[in-house]
Amino acid sequence: MSPSLSRRSFLVGGLATTAAVTLPGGLLSAGTALAGGADPSGRLGDPFTLGVASGDPAPDGVVLWTRLAPSPLADDGLGGMPQRVIPVQWQVASDEGFRRVVQHGTEQPRPESAHSLHVELRGLQPGREYFYRFRAQGHVSPVGRTRTAPAPDSRPDALLMAFASCSQYEHGLFTAYRRMAEEQPELVLHLGDYIYEHKAGPGGFTAPIGNVRNHAGPETETLANCRQRHAQYKTDPDLQLAHAVAPWVVVWDDHEVDNNWADEIPEKPEIPQPNFLARRSAAFQAYYENMPLRRASVPQGIDLQLYRRIQWGRLTTFHMLDTRQYRSDQACGDRAQAGCAERLLPERSITGAEQERWLLDGLDRSKSTWDVLGQQVFFAQRDFDPGDPQVVSMDGWDGYKASRDRILQGFESRDVRNPVVLTGDVHRHYANDLKADFDDPSSATVGVELVTTSITSNGDGFDTTVATDNQLAENPHIRFANSQRGYVTTRFSKKQLQADFKVLPQGVRTAGSPAVTRASFVVEDGRPGLNRTT
């Protein structure tokens, strides 16, 4: 068995079955897991019920994350933890057996941060795999695997990256996260709707064929409930596995806060939410606490700096965008509609002026073969209905046409070698050619967009629907659409990008569906546009 195969069985098997692992060498000894909360002696139960994670890899380091929560669903959001600092030791090793520990330390997670930990490592080697684990109160965490980015001027041969979005816990089991983990990606991008804000039951969010499990707590408007919701999601073993196999780079969309929120404006301005900024702050705070983000993303007032770049040598630059926090309000009252002149106004922006400048400057300076925009909402034009007039979504880039035009023109004027837009949000797979003028199919193709379907949102779904058939007929630049659950894997190399659209044919209501490749596309270096191969 090759080293990589034995590693796979160790990681996938170990994380699937148990939180505490048996450790060689006695470096850390696993304590006896107790059943939540504290035992009569005051000793905490296993505090590692939320798993481990890593994120935002740089050439010299990565962020390690965990959060202590012996009773993850506690109503106060504090996971059954006492109101005091609990020291946590951590180790980083170059081997999965922790015989070669390269760094270690102790953190002091505080109740004010829901006992979350963010260890921002420095001094690691570029382009290397590492293993990490935590210990607290005699308990040892699961082992996570992570990876540093390649050296900035290096030219790695390839990168296997997977991306995902829209994981509504009630709508299905997280089998797609498990299948994604089993592919052993080097990097995972999550493009938003990592949690959903709704309460369970009436007034909540029910999938077309019903929900398979329930959210704990009410709709998330308070810090306690946002923390509780994140904790509930993180208890899922499939999600824990996906975090433990590779570093993640995350951005939010709307449901981490409130459906279709825009900057300081809630979903439905006609239904006043006088507490919306407090709600936004609480959601941001809980998001930071529960994600492997760098200190640069510690919330400041009502803001959280989320847009940032991740560099993979000279192969790929990931420009991670935040299209929620700075956007103009949706035009013409939101929703899909025809004939809205407001959506065309040049002063409207989905990124805000500052982020737009940052993106265009970054594209200008990039020396990468592939420039990836990791972002939330549908970028290409998408006319929903046959014939005229066009019916488009006010929440995607169609509702901010001037914003989109400035980016598309930026691809051309800054000579971006291979622009690739990655998207989530719509609970369907799509593969799109990006056109200089979407209304003129003969205009130049200037880049591509890959849209991932949901992990679970909307339930099992269908291969084709009347809606997707109509959209394929009406939008020749949309080359593929599918409404099942799944994720997308991408393999970047110097010569080409290959994208495999994965779906779960047995759905998400029951466990165990395989993931199959429903369609594959290749983009050749220097030749914008999708070539279907499967």
Nearer to Fe ion, 167 or 325 (CB): 167
Q: How far is the CB of 183 from Fe ion (least distance, A)?
A: 22
**Binding positions for Fe ion, 155-194, rule CB under 5 A:** 166, 193
Minimal distance, residue 516 CB to Fe ion, in Å: 23
Contacts 24+ apart (CB under 8 A), 29-38: 29/138, 29/140, 30/139, 30/140, 31/137, 31/138, 31/139, 31/140, 32/138, 33/139, 34/70, 36/70, 36/71, 36/80, 37/70, 37/71, 37/80, 38/70, 38/80, 38/82
Which CB sits closer to Fe ion, 71 or 457? 457
C-alpha 47/C-alpha 52 separation (Å) is 11
Question: Smallest distance from the beta carbon of 193 to Fe ion, in angstroms?
Answer: 4
Give, in order, the Cα–Cα distances in Å from 200 to each of 175, 207, 210, 282. Answer: 21, 12, 12, 20
Instruction: Report how many residues bind Fe ion under the rule CB under 5 A.
Output: 3
Q: How many CB atoms lie within 10 A of CB 380?
A: 25
**Shortest distance, position 458 Cβ to Fe ion, whole Å:** 8
Size (the chain), residues: 534
Per CB under 5 A, which region of 370-378, 411-419, 451-459, 508-516 contacts Fe ion? 451-459
Min dist CB 454 to Fe ion, Å, is 6
Question: Do β-strands 158-164 and 144-147 pair in parallel, antiparallel, or remain unpaired?
Answer: unpaired
* Cβ 50 vs Cβ 235: under 8 Å: yes
State yes or no: residue 256 binds Fe ion (CB under 5 A). Answer: no
413 φ/ψ angles, rounded to the nearest 5 degrees: -70, -25
> Minimum Å distance from CB 113 to Fe ion?
27
Site string for Fe ion, 192-221 (x = CB under 5 A): -x----------------------------
Half-sphere exposure of 24 (CA within 13 A, CB side): 8
Tell whether residue 457 is a contact of Fe ion (CB under 5 A).
yes
- In the complex, least distance from residue 168 CB atom to Fe ion, rounded to whole angstroms: 7
In the complex with Fe ion, the residue whose CB is nearer, 115 or 327, is 327
Cβ-based nearer residue to Fe ion, 190 or 435: 190
Please tell me the distance from the alpha carbon of residue 183 to that of residue 57, in angstroms, as a whole number: 19
Q: Backbone phi, then psi, for 232, in 5-degree steps?
A: -60, -45
Residue 27 CB burial class (10 angstroms; 0-12, 13-18, ≥19):
middle
Closest CB to Fe ion among residues 193, 256: 193
Q: Which helix H or strand E contains 411, and what residues bound it?
A: helix 401-413
Shortest reach from residue 427's CB to Fe ion, in Å: 6
Query: Which x/- pattern, by CB under 5 A, does the window 41-80 give for Fe ion?
Result: ----------------------------------------
The interface region with Fe ion, picked from 39-47, 197-205, 450-458, 478-486 by CB under 5 A, is: 450-458
Tokens of 195: 């949690």
CA 204 → CA 174, 195, 216, 358, 375, distances in Å? 19, 13, 12, 38, 26
Closer to Fe ion by Cβ: residue 192 or 419: 192
CA distance 470 to 71: 48
Using DSSP's 3-state secondary structure scheme, residue 341 falls into helix
Using the minimum distance from each CB to Fe ion, give the nearer residue, 96 or 267: 267
| Residue 426 interacts with Fe ion (CB under 5 A): yes or no | no
> How far is Cα 91 from Cα 87, in angstroms, rounded to an integer?
14
Question: Between residues 136 and 195, which has the closer beta carbon with respect to Fe ion?
Answer: 195
Which residue, 193 or 500, is less far from Fe ion as judged by CB?
A: 193
Peptide linkage before 389 cis (omega within 30 of 0): yes
Q: Which stretch binds Fe ion (CB under 5 A): 118-126, 142-150, 292-300, 453-461?
A: 453-461
Residue 523 Cβ vs Fe ion, minimum distance, rounded to whole Å: 26
Per DSSP, the chain holds a count of helices (H) and strands (E) of 8, 25
Between 159 and 166, whose beta carbon lies closer to Fe ion? 166
Q: How far is the CB of 249 from Fe ion (least distance, A)?
A: 18
- What residues line the site for Fe ion (CB under 5 A)? 166, 193, 457
